[in-house]
Structure 1
Amino acid sequence: MNPIVTVQDAVTAFADWIEPTDTELDAIELESPVIAAEVDLLDAQITAMDRPANELDARRIRRARNRVLAARRDLANGPAAAMLPGGAA
């Protein structure tokens, strides 16, 4: 019978290399309003799936979509947009 040996050393050997850089963390922080708005939209859609369609759910989904679009617009037009490659000068 072969003993089962953990591979923790092999998995965590490169843990320092796996951590996100400061630039990646800054990008995540800039995108966090979009991520939060998308989570709210997904929550509204899941809630609407659990029961028959009604006007309140439709309104909640519509408002959540508008928040996603507004967050994406703000991200695209914000100060970080000047640093993104491919933007108009």
Structure 2
Amino acid sequence: MSHIVTVQEAVTAFADWKEPTDAELDAIEEEMPAILAGIELLDAQITHLDRTPNELDARRVRRAHRRVLTVRRDLANHAAGANLAGDAA
């Protein structure tokens, strides 16, 4: 007979003291537009695959893809601007 036991690390992996730091939460908040744009693109792609695609579905996928690219560009420019502003001193 084999006994079923829990592994302590797996049980305590979500303990209260393992919360994200403020810096991690800030990074998530900064990336949130990219995350939401990616979700929108994924939703459009799933809809496109789920049924016979029509022109509106194709437009929705293209629009979502452009939004992902725009948000990623804006985040990259923002990060580059932050790095340049820090080097000015």
TM over 0.5: yes
Higher helix proportion, which one? 2
Shift of 1:2: 7.9
Distance 1:4 1:60, change over 3 A: same
1:62-77 superposed matches below 5 A = 62-77=62-77
- Distance in 1, matches of 2:61 and 2:9, equals 45
* Structure 2 unmatched ranges of 5 or more: none
Alignment of 1:20 with 2:44, yes or no, is: no
- Give the TM-score normalised by structure 2: 0.74
Shift of 1:3: 7.5
- Give the TM-score normalised by structure 1: 0.74
Count of aligned pairs: 84
Superposed CA RMSD in Å reads: 2.7
| Aligned-residue identity in percent | 66
Shift of 1:82: 3.7
Distance 1:2 1:71, change over 3 A: same
- Distance in 2, matches of 1:28 and 1:19, equals 13
* Structure 1 unmatched ranges of 5 or more: none
- Distance in 1, matches of 2:73 and 2:5, equals 51
Runs of 4+ in 1 over 2 A off after TM superposition: 1-7, 9-15, 80-84
